Homo-oligomer: A and B are copies of this chain.
Amino acid sequence: MADTSRRSFIQAATTGVVAASLTAAATAADAPAAAPAAPVATGPTFTHQQQPTPLPFDPKSLKGLSERLIGSHWENNYGGAVKALNTIRGRLAQALADPNLPPYVYTGLKREQALRTGSIVYHDLYFGGLGGNGTADGATRSLLARHFGSFDAWETEFRRIGNGLGGGSGWVLLAWNPTLKVLENSWLADHSGGVTGSTPILVMDMYEHAFQMDYGAAAAKYIDAYMANVNWEVVAARLKAVPA
């Protein structure tokens, strides 16, 4: 490589070759030069304090999922997310009031908010869909068969996504997507995954806190236990959102 081609790009920039087109963008990457006054950020968006939803079933009553597991899952993982979200919300109002806070620092806080928000939403749905006998009635089986070709196709895919997540973390989601007009199973990499606007029907927690205490690494056995406790009456009620 010729030595002359090695001159610093910084030199080029200071001699005006590229500076003109870059000034605005370079400034934009940080806080605006003339910082506006801090906005009033006092509404429920910044002050809401969430309360955990009680378990809708007796934690001793599940088949193959111990009271200790369910208790720790509800109290520590779900409950921990509630506490964390409440803490983060208070910090957001503070951070928004600082006009000199770099946006990428604010975004770091929003990411943590997104993770805890998803954790609460999905755990609510998860615990809310347990406590049943694991047997779908004929109408529900027919509805799933109509969409997936067969009830088995639905169940095979739902379980397979779960097995694919075993040893990692994430959620399996059955939801109605009103944009695509499709009822389908999805893979969510973590709590911040999801399809905004879709109606959730059934979610299965594949974070290892959902099963390690009872099953160690045997994710497939946990999936069996989960399926044996699905409350299909709740699922049927949620399925009313799917157009006939």
Whether B149 and A43, one on each chain, are in contact in the complex, defined by CB atoms closer than 8 angstroms, is: yes
A196 within 8 A of B: yes
Which of A45, A87, A120, A192 neighbours the largest number of chain B CB atoms within 10 Å of its CB? A45
Query: Which chain B residues lie closer than 8 Å to A25 at the CB level?
Result: 72, 75-76, 215-221
Whether B1 and A231, one on each chain, are in contact in the complex, defined by CB atoms closer than 8 angstroms, is: yes
Whether A44 and B193, one on each chain, are in contact in the complex, defined by CB atoms closer than 8 angstroms, is: no
Whether A220 and B32, one on each chain, are in contact in the complex, defined by CB atoms closer than 8 angstroms, is: yes
Closest to A85 in B: B180
A: number of interface residues (CB 8 Å): 146
Q: How many identical subunits does the complex contain? A: 4
Query: Which chain B residues lie closer than 8 Å to A168 at the CB level?
Result: 115, 169, 190-191, 207
What per-residue 1/0 map shows which CB atoms of A5-29 lie under 8 Å from chain B?
A: 1111111110001100110111111
CA distance in complex: A114, B187 (Å): 7
CA distance in complex: A209, B59 (Å): 23
CA distance in complex: A108, B114 (Å): 11
Contact pick for A96, options B27, B40, B52, B157, CB 8 Å: B157
Q: Which 7 A-B pairs have the closest CB atoms?
A: A107-B164, A8-B54, A108-B108, A212-B212, A28-B220, A76-B217, A208-B208
A5-B57, A188-B192, A209-B212 known; 7 new pairs, CB 8 Å cut-off, are: A9-B75, A50-B180, A121-B196, A121-B197, A168-B207, A197-B200, A207-B208
